[in-house]
Structure 1
Amino acid sequence: MRFTTNLALAAPFLILLGSCVGPAPRQANLAPSPAPRPIPTPAPIQPTVPPAPLASEWQYRATAPGDWRWQSDAAISVARFGPTAADTRLTIRCDRAARRVSIIRTGAGQGTMTIRTSYGATSWPATASTSPTPQAVAVRAAADTALDQIAYSRGKFAVEVAGPEPLIVPAWPEVSRVIEDCRG
């Protein structure tokens, strides 16, 4: 009974509590707002790729077009590089009897022949030959360690002589084969 007495006493206050809710908010009579402007989207940014700079270091230049061709007989082992078999730009030749490796750059005269590999640069004296076209010839002993640097250069090596542009060629197995044939 105590519960019902407390409820009877609280009933008037509960009714008053329900009337504490204020009136609904009035909406102001506003003029209709203009349609929202679309936000302009910027045009997609096209990345501009600057033209590739000309490579000044030999290792960043492309190799010359062409292929290595290898042949051998009892006296010699030779690898020739050029765009065609008839157009040889570089020859690496082994004279087995003398155990000498000749590097022949077509289209050049005498002076110094510089060989650039991933191991560094080596300069050798070169003599001129005119048969059948002008060429520079550097001759090395088959045991010369610079020949190993050519054979194991990372992907390519360069041959520079006075006159023509440096010749950058791939370090393919034909080169190693000539060097190994010469070492016997």
Structure 2
Amino acid sequence: MSALPPRPATRPTIAALALILAGCVPQVTPPPVPTPAPSSTAVALPPPAPLAADWRDWPRTPGDWRYTPLPGGGIARYAGADGQPLATLSCDRAARRIVLTRPSPAVATALTIRTTSTVRALPVQARAPADAAPLVMLDATLPADDRLLDAMAFSRGTFVLEQASRPPLVLPAWAEVGRVIEDCR
């Protein structure tokens, strides 16, 4: 019996041998990251970021305007993501007036409206909501020909509703606003 001469190693054989040897190297796992012990005290959330000095740089309040035509004049509701109205603009055609309504958890002072051309504070009147919600409805009434309404409809992009101790509403000046105004004129 004669012994066969050894075969020269080929590249695929060397690569396979290297893979086999690499599998023999023990894997090192990092130590687990310790988790903090549960605390009995609540973690305070950071305060909201301050608003920019210029109200035109404030972020728009999330939501959409929806217009509904009614026999006595149209109504536009600005509802948030949860579907709850944040502001309502309604026309009373018979009285030729427009009522701007904002729900509030408490009676507030005047409602200030900011547009690109006008800033004006309006007195509000509180009324109980129709659905017995825990909020008070604050109404600001304007004659249908008031120039503030035009300023709201033609404000560049947005207008703002502000009240003491309430976050401002930055609302888009979309077509629904102008449509309600035109319903009363």
* Coarse TM-score class (shorter-chain normalised): 0.5 to 0.7
**Aligned pair 1:100/2:102, yes or no?**
no
Mapped contact 1:79–1:93 kept (Cα < 8 A): yes
TM-score, normalising length: structure 1:
0.67
Larger Rg: 1
The residue number in structure 2 matching 1:161 is 163
SS of 2:184's partner is helix
The residue number in structure 1 matching 2:80 is 83
**Aligned pair 1:173/2:162, yes or no?**
no
Gaps of 5+ in 1: 1-51
Counterparts of 1:39-54 in structure 2 under 5 Å?
Answer: 54=51
The residue number in structure 2 matching 1:26 is none
Mapped contact 1:117–1:150 kept (Cα < 8 A): yes
Gaps of 5+ in 2: 1-48
Question: Which deviations, in whole Å up to 9, do the C-alpha atoms of 1:116-167 show, x marking residues without a partner?
Answer: 0000201111111221421211001001111100010000000012231111
Aligned equivalents of 2:169 and 2:123: distance in 1?
A: 17
TM-score, normalising length: structure 2:
0.67
Counterparts of 1:25-174 in structure 2 under 5 Å?
Answer: 54-84=51-81, 86-107=83-104, 109-131=107-129, 132=132, 133-174=135-176
Q: How far apart are 1:54 and its partner, in Å?
A: 4.0
Aligned equivalents of 1:73 and 1:152: distance in 2?
A: 23
The residue number in structure 1 matching 2:32 is none
Please list every run of at least 4 consecutive aligned residues from structure 1 whose deviation after the TM superposition is greater than 4 angstroms.
none
Length, aligned pairs only: 132
Mapped contact 1:113–1:123 kept (Cα < 8 A): yes
Query: What's the C-alpha RMSD, in Å, of the aligned pairs?
Result: 1.8
What letter corresponds to residue 67 of structure 1 in structure 2?
D
What letter corresponds to residue 100 of structure 1 in structure 2?
R
Question: Which deviations, in whole Å up to 9, do the C-alpha atoms of 1:95-125 show, x marking residues without a partner?
Answer: 1111110000112524211100000201111
What letter corresponds to residue 60 of structure 1 in structure 2?
D
Mapped contact 2:91–2:98 kept (Cα < 8 A): yes
Aligned equivalents of 1:54 and 1:165: distance in 2?
A: 10
What letter corresponds to residue 146 of structure 1 in structure 2?
L
SS of 2:165's partner is coil
What letter corresponds to residue 126 of structure 2 in structure 1?
A
Question: Which deviations, in whole Å up to 9, do the C-alpha atoms of 1:60-98 show, x marking residues without a partner?
Answer: 101100000000121131000012474000000001111
Aligned equivalents of 1:123 and 1:99: distance in 2?
A: 21
Mapped contact 1:109–1:129 kept (Cα < 8 A): no
